[in-house]
């Protein structure tokens, strides 16, 4: 039994899992926690183990643990980017009696779990012309924007995590340029994450409202997406601008490594706006690369609909000997 977790800026998902054949993960028990209701991750984990023991009728025993965390990891430790929590693998192992614990960046975990996905967990936007062993890119917007790469070492894919979401946002159209100016005037340097995240969608909506003479209209991301589904014009425009920026950034990242192994769009937002992602605006922006448009069209593009992918990857990472990120 492996204890696995996905710890983001907003929520934490914890599960007891079994890993079979080195690639198949089955979840025996899981719970979701809202981070704002807790003082730290240790409190959340203690509550989870108590819940598991009570509902399963026996102590929740796991020798290994893997935790995907939304932030940079160094030496088995991470201070989350968008939440004032510190996750320390060694301290958690000692406190909860674990033989080993691994802490890895959430998109390193997401990338680790890609090959464990079932065909039904992916929606293909562009089949492209995949090349076996070619580089892969995994990105995803949620509370922030995560990015990771996978490179073939001759026998398997190796994950290279990073903080690509904090690179500068490059406008790909006049409207993107106006959005960049709108955000820059408010805060200075504009990161990709300032546009492609839940708060980014809120900024886009505020930008469009400001341009339409309805400044002061401030909606949260779930309200924007719900309004768009219900036919709200401004909400639909905001999501379409978000999708176009998403496609442009994904295409830039893919060109950076010629990702003929596939581009995987993960994260919490993608499944919620899948109809708009599939409508054509994402791919149009992805492939709008001038002289390299044909190269972009050769790269497969998939949307990941399995929102537990970071947790699955964390469980796989914990099953390795030695655990990845431990």
pLDDT tens sequence for the chain (326 residues): 899 999 988 899 999 998 887 678 889 899 999 999 999 999 999 999 999 999 887 777 788 999 999 888 999 999 998 889 999 999 999 999 999 999 999 999 999 999 999 999 999 999 999 999 999 999 999 888 999 999 999 999 999 988 899 999 999 999 999 999 999 999 999 999 999 999 999 999 999 998 754 555 678 999 999 888 888 999 999 999 999 999 999 999 999 999 999 999 999 899 999 999 999 999 999 999 999 999 999 999 999 999 899 999 999 999 885 566 55
pLDDT at residue 218 in the model: 76
Domains of the chain: 2-112+308-319 (3.30.420.40), 118-305 (3.40.367.20)
191 touches 240 (CB < 8 A): no
Nearest to 138 by CA among 128, 152, 149, 124: 149
Instruction: Please name every residue paired with 145 in a beta bridge, in sequence order, or none if there are none.
Output: 141
Pairwise CA distance, residues 287 & 262, whole Å = 14
Pairwise CA distance, residues 142 & 280, whole Å = 21
E-assigned strand segments in 112-270: 122-126, 136-141, 145-152, 157-161, 262-266
272 is written with which tokens?
């919620």
What string of H, E and C letters represents the secondary structure of 78-141?
EECCCCCCEEEHHHHHHHHCCCEEEEEEHHHHHHHCHHHCCHHHEEEEECCCCCCCCCEEEEEE
pLDDT at residue 34 in the model: 95
pLDDT at residue 83 in the model: 87
pLDDT at residue 56 in the model: 82
Cis peptide before 322 (omega within 30 of 0): yes
What are the Cα distances from residue 179, in Å, to 174, 217, 225, 265, 288? 9, 16, 19, 23, 19
* 280 Cβ contact list (under 8 Å, min separation 6): none
């Amino acid at each position: 039994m492996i204890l696995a977790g996905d710890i983001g800026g907003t929520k934490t998902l914890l599960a007891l899992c079994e890993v079979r054949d080195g690639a198949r993960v089955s979840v025996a028990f899981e719970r979701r926690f809202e981070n704002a209701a807790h003082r730290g991750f240790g409190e959340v984990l203690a509550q989870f183990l108590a819940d598991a023991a009570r509902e399963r009728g026996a102590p929740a025993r796991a020798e290994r643990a893997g935790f995907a965390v939304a932030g940079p990891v160094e030496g088995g430790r991470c201070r989350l980017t968008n939440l004032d929590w510190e996750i320390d693998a060694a301290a958690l192992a000692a406190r909860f009696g674990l033989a080993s614990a691994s802490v890895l960046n959430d998109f390193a975990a997401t990338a680790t779990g890609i090959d464990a996905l079932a065909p039904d967990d992916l929606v293909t936007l562009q089949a492209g012309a995949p090349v076996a062993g070619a580089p892969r890119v995994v990105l995803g917007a949620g509370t922030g924007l995560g990015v990771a790469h996978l490179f073939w070492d001759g026998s398997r894919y190796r994950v290279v995590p990073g903080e690509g979401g904090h690179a500068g946002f490059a406008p790909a159209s006049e409207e993107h340029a106006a959005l960049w100016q709108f955000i820059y005037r408010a805060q200075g340097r504009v990161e990709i994450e300032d546009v492609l995240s839940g708060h980014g969608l809120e900024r886009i909506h505020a930008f469009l409202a400001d341009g339409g003479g309805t400044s002061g209209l401030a909606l949260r991301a779930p309200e924007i997406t719900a309004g768009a589904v219900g036919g709200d014009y401004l909400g639909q425009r905001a999501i379409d601008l978000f999708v176009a920026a998403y496609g442009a950034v994904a295409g830039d990242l893919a060109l950076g490594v010629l990702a003929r192994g596939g581009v995987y769009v993960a994260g919490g937002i993608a499944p919620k706006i899948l109809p708009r992602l599939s409508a054509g605006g994402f791919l149009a922006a992805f492939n709008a690369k001038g002289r390299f448009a044909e190269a972009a069209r050769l790269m497969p593009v998939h949307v990941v609909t399995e929102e537990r992918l970071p947790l699955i990857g964390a469980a796989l990472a914990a099953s390795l000997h030695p655990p990845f990120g431990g």
